[in-house]
Amino acid sequence: MIEAVGQDETLDYLCEDKLRLIQKKDGYRFSIDTILLANFINLKKHERLLDIGSGCGIMPIYMSKKGYMNKMLGVEIQKDLFDVSLRNKNGNNCENIDFIYGDITSCAQNLKKSPFHVVVSNPPYTKSRTGRKSPGYSRLLARHETSLNLPCLISASSSLLFKKGRFYVIYPSRRLGELVYAAKLGKLELKRLRFIYPKKDGKANLFLAEFMKEGGVGTTIEQPLYIYENCSYTDEVKSYYALG
Q: Answer yes or no: is 1 within a domain.
A: no
Q: What is the pLDDT of residues 100-132, one digit of tens each?
A: 999 999 999 999 999 999 999 999 977 655 545
Q: Which domain holds residue 42?
A: 9-240
Q: Answer yes or no: is 2 within a domain.
A: no
CATH number at 64 reads 3.40.50.150
Q: Answer yes or no: is 141 within a domain.
A: yes
Q: How far apart are CA 115 and CA 102, in angstroms?
A: 18
Q: Answer yes or no: is 4 within a domain.
A: no
- Its pTM stands at 0.91
Q: Answer yes or no: is 164 within a domain.
A: yes
Q: Answer yes or no: is 3 within a domain.
A: no
Mean pLDDT, rounded, of the chain: 91
- Give one DSSP letter per residue of 179-217, joined into a string: HHHHHHHTTEEEEEEEEEESSTTS---EEEEEEEET--S
Q: Answer yes or no: is 115 within a domain.
A: yes
Q: Answer yes or no: is 99 within a domain.
A: yes
Q: How many domains does the chain have?
A: 1
Q: How far apart are CA 197 and CA 223, in angstroms?
A: 11
Assign 5 a pLDDT band (cuts: 50, 70, 90): confident
